[in-house]
Amino acid sequence: MMKRINELKRIMILGAGTYQVPLIKTARRMGLYTIVVSIPGDYLGFSLADKVYYLDTRDREGILKAAREEKIDGICTSGTDVAVSSIGYVCEQMGLTGIPLKAAETVTDKALMKEAFLAGGVAAAKGVRAYTLEEARRAAERIGYPVVVKRVDSSGSRGISVVRKPSKIEEAFLHAKDRSSRDYVLVEEYLKGVEIGVDGFVQDGKLVFLAAHDKFIYQGDNITVPVGHAFPYRCSKAVEEEIARQMQRAVTATEINCCSVNADVFVDGGNVYIIEIGGRTGATCIPELISICYGFDFYEKMIRSALGEKVDFSCEGKTPCMAKLLMSPLEGTLTGVNFEGIETICREEAQVALDYPVGHHVYAMTDGTDRIGHVIMEAEKEEELDRIIRKVRKYIAIDHRTLEEIWNG
């Protein structure tokens, strides 16, 4: 009987790319009628959907019109900030379960988020809006160098610069304004400490699930790219409690509710600072790692919540696990894949996924969207994962050189 009821339910998923595909697959597995919304493109999610609407996920009115025509029961996304405001808008207009519109608008604008943090007593870096280069200069002088200059409507480290001296502020300001839909940037205090990630879920205004995790960061000559995560984060009980306290303050301050959350956090000794929080789950294999670590399907939890269900996040124990993206330092064409070798690794050691078929263009890594795949495994040490990644890279060729050869120069 439950299966027949589920088959009548209709879920709308915003986005059809790499980070939405597992959500779409989960919805189909749950027996839901799955409607996918995205701009046209080479996205795998289109082929998995029951119905497709070719719309920009920022087109609130277009998405609302489609949602009403389809009489959807829920709407959600994974791994992207772009669609969050549209979800809040549709939920408000149709009375669906999901992030409130005000909260969605707050957490998708770093300046609004910063102002909410400061008003709500969240431990966070000082920050100031700057509409002009001169305002950015004055803000940096008041805060004190080094500062961080941020594009306010982006994610994945795009449009963010660390500025250590006044001569670099103009370059950072212009970089943050580039492609931004806002007419201001955020100039923020530079904090020291260990950067971690924290994901969770909010119901009735309270965090009912919280999962802190380590971040793997690639530091190049001119780029800093988040490339993976490791669960769970190991820390003292006092730090664990402070993470939970500050995360709840951030949730309350931004009025996030009825959705998953993803935050960037700095830990400096016993101090915890919330850098940013989003009203959606994190990317870079975070839902998959949560599912392995805590023993439940996190994608399914997100969907059930969007359909109006109260979701239980109880679990027994934590399984250490980690993941890293497969990326290339050079641009080129994917010219070969040893699928037999990769399948052997999948059977015996890890989960390996490739995003593109042979012949597809590959971009040099500049941020987390330039991935060509990922590797996930149960492991406690980064060295174990890196050993598998080196094996996988030998099975992938770009411009007729193995990915491992390219990384070794």
pLDDT tens digits for 288-305? Answer: 999 999 999 999 999 999
Give strand pairing partners of 259: 202
Count of domains observed in the chain = 4
Share the mean pLDDT of the chain. 94
Same domain assignment for residues 224 and 301 = yes
Predicted local confidence at residue 367, as pLDDT: 83
Same domain assignment for residues 201 and 299 = yes
Predicted local confidence at residue 4, as pLDDT: 39
- Above 70 in pLDDT, residue 49? yes
Burial of 1 (0-12, 13-18, 19+ CB in 10 A): exposed
Same domain assignment for residues 297 and 338 = no
Question: What's the CA angle centered on 277, arms 142 and 92, to 5 degrees?
Answer: 120
Q: Is the dihedral of CA 249, 250, 251, 255 positive or negative?
A: positive
* CA dist., res. 260 & res. 78, Å (int): 9
Same domain assignment for residues 219 and 234 = yes
User: Which of 96, 115, 140 corresponds to the end of one domain?
Assistant: 96
Looking at per-residue confidence, does 307 or 154 come out higher? 307
Radius of gyration of the chain (CA): 21
Confidence of residue 181 (pLDDT cuts 50, 70, 90): confident
Q: Is residue 26 part of a domain?
A: yes
Burial of 407 (0-12, 13-18, 19+ CB in 10 A): middle
Sequence-ordered list of residues with C-beta below 8 angstroms from that of 346, at least 6 positions apart, any chain? 352
98 is written with which tokens? Answer: 């999901």
Q: Is residue 8 part of a domain?
A: yes
Give strand pairing partners of 216: 228
- Above 60 in pLDDT, residue 59? yes
The reply to whether omega before 146 is within 30° of 0 (cis) is yes
Same domain assignment for residues 21 and 83 = yes
* CA dist., res. 390 & res. 386, Å (int): 6
| pLDDT, mean of residues 225-249 | 96
Same domain assignment for residues 200 and 280 = yes
Same domain assignment for residues 200 and 285 = yes
- Whose CA is closest to 233, among 205, 202, 267, 206? 267
Predicted local confidence at residue 284, as pLDDT: 93
- Above 70 in pLDDT, residue 117? yes
Same domain assignment for residues 326 and 400 = yes
Same domain assignment for residues 140 and 89 = no
Same domain assignment for residues 294 and 198 = yes
Q: Is residue 104 part of a domain?
A: no
Same domain assignment for residues 204 and 244 = yes
Q: Is residue 311 part of a domain?
A: no
* CA dist., res. 246 & res. 276, Å (int): 12
* Placement of tokens 């009025």 in the chain: 255
Q: Is residue 365 part of a domain?
A: yes
User: Which of 154, 172, 189 corresponds to the end of one domain?
Assistant: 189
CATH number at residue 185: 3.30.1490.20
| pLDDT, mean of residues 67-72 | 98
- Above 80 in pLDDT, residue 157? no
Burial of 305 (0-12, 13-18, 19+ CB in 10 A): buried
Share of residues in the chain with pLDDT > 90 (%): 90
User: Which of 276, 306, 336 corresponds to the end of one domain?
Assistant: 306
Same domain assignment for residues 76 and 145 = no
* Of 87-91, 159-163, 246-250, 369-373, the least confident: 159-163
Q: Is residue 116 part of a domain?
A: no
- Above 60 in pLDDT, residue 7? no
Predicted local confidence at residue 2, as pLDDT: 40
Range of the domain at 283: 194-306
- Above 80 in pLDDT, residue 3? no
